[in-house]
Amino acid sequence: MIEPTGWDGEECPEPFLKWPGGKRYLADRIVKHFPAAHGRYYEPFVGSAALFFAHRPADAVLADKNAELIACYEQVRDNCEAVIRRLRKLKNSTEDYYRIRAKEPTDGAWRAARLVYLVKLAFNGIYRVNSLTGKFNVPYGDHEGRVVFDPEKLRRASRLLQGSKLLVADFEVALADAGEGDLVYLDPPYTVAHNSNGFLRYNTKLFSWEDQVRLANCAQDLADRGCHVVVSNACHKSIRSLYSSFRVHRIIRSSRMAADNTYRRRIAEYLFVSGSSGEN
Ligand SMILES: C[S@@+](CC[C@H](N)C(=O)[O-])C[C@H]1O[C@@H](n2cnc3c(N)ncnc32)[C@H](O)[C@@H]1O
């Protein structure tokens, strides 16, 4: 059993990327459901790695289907100073944004810097690519004056990533060798069986209902193998029915509507924790 590393007085490194569905603002409430000591930590829908950075495990498997994202983490882990040098050259203006967005660099550090830059300055911090060309297609977010990156944050992330195995993989592949005593945090794109919510409908292209069922079966299998499993998901009866043997918690967050910065609404999410059933 290993315990999370802690930061020896250093500031906690929150994610250096903003990501759709990112858990930065819920991380402290989710981490409370992680055991104090565990084996390897698995996060196969890593996105901005908000939970990884909040929990700071020494030994982790971080995976995602998004190859651009995983390549960025590899560069920050292994080649951080080169990424920082590249980022220092990128200016924040409308013209520079569209010029950089149009580029397709092959150099790893340059590619990683481009992703950090685009996600920071894109409209609403969205990561989205054209479904046919695969090219990043989010317009500039009118963030003139915004500081693009913090070198110290990248360096802290790099240090923490040293003990991590990074994989471009479907979640089932990434979890194949998880075993007794390991901790698995699952945060898939949110989809439900039937809904009229545009965001969830958009996500069904990325993560179908069949994927949700496959994930729930995988989570149950991991729990049966002795893993501690924590799952974030949409608060919907169709999802809840998939996790009948898990303990259920409801987490309330406030959500900003993309089109209106002033309108916020309260949204519930489910957190399923393996071990026992019931609702808190
Ligand atoms: C809701 S986001 C995760 C957000 C993350 N927890 C954070 O705090 O930023 C879901 C992630 O799952 C990835 N994904 C979608 N389908 C996948 C699959 N079948 N296997 C692995 N990753 C997948 C997406 O690329 C996306 O990064």
Q: What integer pLDDT is reported at residue 261 of this predicted model?
A: 56
Residue 21 lies in a domain: no
Same structural domain, 53 and 142? no
Last residue of a domain, one of 131, 155, 179: 155
Last residue of a domain, one of 127, 155, 183: 155
Q: Which of 64, 202, 211 to mutate to test ligand 1, by most ligand atoms within 8 A of the CB atom?
A: 64
Q: What integer pLDDT is reported at residue 260 of this predicted model?
A: 56
Distance CA 97, CA 243 (A): 43
Same structural domain, 108 and 221? no
Same structural domain, 82 and 141? yes
Q: What integer pLDDT is reported at residue 234 of this predicted model?
A: 93
Which residues span the domain enclosing 88?
74-155
Residue 267 lies in a domain: yes
Domain count, the chain: 2
Same structural domain, 188 and 275? yes
Whose Cα sits closest to atom 7 in ligand 1? 22
Distance CA 86, CA 54 (A): 27
d(CA 30, ligand 1 centre) in Å? 17
Same structural domain, 145 and 84? yes
DSSP state letter for 242: G
Q: Taking the complete model, does pTM exceed 0.85, yes or no?
A: yes
- Residue 116: give its domain's CATH number: 1.10.1020.10
Q: How high is the mean pLDDT in each 10-residue block of the chain (280 residues)? A: 51 80 93 96 98 96 96 98 98 96 96 96 88 89 90 96 96 98 96 60 70 97 98 94 96 69 78 69
Q: Which of 28, 65, 170, 270 to mutate to test ligand 1, by most ligand atoms within 8 A of the CB atom?
A: 65
Tell me if 170 CB under 6 Å of ligand 1. Answer: yes
Tell me if 66 CB under 6 Å of ligand 1. Answer: yes
- Cβ neighbours of residue 279 closer than 8 Å, sequence gap 6 or more: 247, 248, 249, 250
Tell me if 171 CB under 6 Å of ligand 1. Answer: yes
Residue in 147, 141, 66 with CA at minimum distance from that of residue 111: 66
